[in-house]
Chain A
Amino acid sequence: MITRVLAVFERDLRRMLRNPMTLFGAILMPLVYLIILGNSLQGPIERLPLGVVAFDQGPEAREFIGALQALERGPKTVRLVRETDAEGALASLRRGRLAGFVVVPPHFSSDLARGRNAAIGLYVDNVDAVASAALVAAVTATLPAVKSPLARFERHLGPAEVRPQEIYPRVDYDTSLVPAVVVMAIFIGSMLAGGFNLVMDRFLGVHESYLSTPLTRLDIALGVLGSGTVVTMASSALVLSAGLLLTGGRVHGGPLGWVALVLVLFLTTFGLLAMMMAALGRANHPRVGQMLGGFLNVILFFPSGALYPIESFPAWLRVVAVVDPETHSIAALKAILFRSGDLQAAATSVAYLIVFGLAMAALAVTTLKRTL
């Protein structure tokens, strides 16, 4: 049996190595993701058009407008647009010409002078969550310029989020994407090695030829699992190294950190590969495989907290995130890479990955026994 499994293993490996373009793509694509996503998400937000409707010219109102102008000149977060009335400003907001606007009410200064509360209206276009959050943060920060404890904003949008405090060494957005692209590389690798190759072999009748020899379905499944694991781990290790090199990140925790890293790569690869084999075990046409692969990518990658904190998800998506192996893989990688080598932080994630991998391997073997 070992001889037979090794023959399948070696054949798959040879075949993959002789299609270097495919492998190259499997490595390059996550890195391109890293570079493009890292840069597109990382830069400061600038020159958001902010409408200003001032019905009051009193000293406090002028202080406030002055602070906005300072914001426009300094960090350049906003670009001020004079508006004469609130209706016009609202119309512009709706058409997307303004990212938001402020309304200084007629009696703002005098109310404050008389010791009454006074609110500046803040309207924000919340279609783009990131831009609106940046705008709210910037505008809110100008309030202390109005030297009155009674001045406040009346926000016309949902509750703002409280950003968690940074208690670990600061991680640039670039670097924080590295675990995500490594997991993406594992996904792509296992999709090619465990999914597409399998479906293609079945489609072309290669498996049928195999099965007219003493080769068993289990032999084929083990051979594919083995070769897929080797190739995928190699390509994801390359992506990890390149990612760390590009972003200047490093592995914490010394040799143990490295061991933990390899373990997580292995568990993720094994789990995703087995999942692919189970999922595509039934597909009998390459198109079905591609469709299923794309689908799995979306439902696994985005809910994994790879790009945006899981804490921001609605409840149902959090449930998806919890069962998503990529969530745990990313969490484990983040723990090892960024939390100063604190391996205990990765323990539950690793445990989940082990359970997931075993379950998928069992599923893959039973599925393939029937369908290969």
Chain B
Amino acid sequence: MSAAIEAQKVTRRFGDFVAVDAVDLTVEEGELFGLLGPNGAGKTTLIRMLTGLSRITSGEAFVAGVDVRRDPVALRRAIGVVPQALTSDLDLTGWENLDIYARFFEVPRQRRRARIEELLRRVELWERRGDLVSTYSGGMRRRLEIARGLIHRPRLLFLDEPTIGLDPQSRRTIWDLLRELHGGDSLTISLTTHYMDEAEALCDRVAIIDHGRVVAVGSPAQLKASVPGSDTLDVTLDGPASEELAAAMGALPGVRRIDREDARLVVRADDGARILPRLVEAITREGRTVTAAAMSRVSLEDVFIQITGRSIRDGRAAASEARRSSLPRRFT
């Protein structure tokens, strides 16, 4: 079996509710694969099934060549898991946290020390190894947990929302780390995220998951190519744009679509960088003035809207994220 993950019709029900609905998925060895979806889409539930932490209601899954439902012990030795919630022990030091996990995997004492040092250096926590994790920042904790997931040299690493709740700089650090693990160590990585930019920046391939179903799979480029007009030009005029003006601009070669919004014209085009100067020129010829212009490339967000008809960060989703990040760090 060459695929790192092979899921067939994997389904999970909670009572009548279908959290994961007949998901088919293939992740190749050495891939950095992303599961992208809004809050509640079923990403965590799917990952928990693939990592043997949750029962599969129906369907079957092979991970690292192991039948998930048959051999949980072999599965756990083959994969590393970095869960969505931060679960490192606040009352232990960074070193101790890794040490107990190494012992869970029964890594022999001599190899343990070397391995822990190597990992702590790698996630840039070596200097802080003797500090209690309660003094770490969120990003440091996440890095520690990534190191923890690698303690037994797994072939495949699962990460559930590895950058949730982190500031942009910490996110970058995690991204760099994941790229390095993926590139340098050719580790197979499967991560979930609801950040479009993250999926786009990191993943070789992405599965978009919504309401428990995989609605699209492909590389970010392939997925974006499915949206007509890969670039968006946003042009603001000195006053309301007339219908005729919009129609005239829409007739320019290369323009796929045009929307009029008061003083704004939103243009979809395949090659925005070349269209933009012509657009401005044409508007000026019509005797109007362009006061602002912006161009954006089509993003996975647009892909998501195209497929599901709504934005990934809709109301309910934002609320549930706020709830989660306010979870107290510690109860005593």
Q: Point out residues on A near B: beta carbons under 8 Å.
A: 3-4, 6-8, 10-11, 14-15, 18-19, 21-22, 200, 204-206, 208-215, 286
Contacts and interface: CB of A to CB of B under 8 A. Distances in A.
Interface stretch (B85-93, B179-187, B222-230, B312-320): B85-93
A214 B105 contact: yes
B230 to A, nearest CB: 40
B34 to A, nearest CB: 20
B83 A18 contact: no
Interface string B64-86: 00000000010011010101010
B91 A208 contact: no
Contacts of B91: 14-15, 18-19
The 4 closest A-B pairs by CB, nearest first: A7-B103, A212-B81, A205-B85, A213-B104
Query: Could you say which of B103, B104, B331 has the most chain A C-beta atoms within 10 Å of its C-beta?
Result: B104
A238 to B, nearest CB: 21
Interface in B81-136: 81, 83, 85, 87, 89, 91-92, 96, 99-101, 103-106, 132
B89 A15 contact: yes
A7 B52 CA distance: 22
A15 B332 CA distance: 12
A286 B327 CA distance: 13
**Interface size for chain B: under 10, 10 to 19, 20 to 34, or 35 or more residues?**
20 to 34
A11 B52 CA distance: 24
Contacts of A19: 91, 332
B332 A212 contact: no
Contacts, number: 66
B53 interface: yes
B83 A209 contact: yes
B51 A212 contact: yes
Query: Could you say which of A6, A14, A204, A205 has the most chain B C-beta atoms within 10 Å of its C-beta?
Result: A204
A286 B331 contact: yes
Given A14-B96, A19-B91, A208-B87, A6 B53 contact: no
A205 B100 CA distance: 16
Contacts of B52: 212
Nearest to B108: A3
Contacts of A15: 89, 91-92
Contacts of A4: 103-104, 106
21 contacts: A7-B100, A11-B89, A11-B92, A11-B100, A14-B92, A18-B132, A200-B331, A204-B85, A208-B83, A208-B85, A212-B52, A212-B53, A212-B81, A212-B83, A213-B152, A214-B77, A214-B104, A214-B105, A214-B106, A215-B104, A286-B331
B331 A210 contact: no
Nearest to B54: A208
Contacts of B105: 213-214
Given A4-B106, A22-B332, A204 B87 contact: yes
A6 B103 contact: yes
Contacts of A213: 76, 101, 104-105, 152
Given A4-B104, A7-B99, A214-B73, 15 more contacts: A3-B106, A7-B100, A18-B92, A204-B85, A206-B89, A208-B85, A209-B87, A212-B51, A212-B52, A212-B53, A212-B81, A212-B83, A213-B101, A214-B76, A214-B104
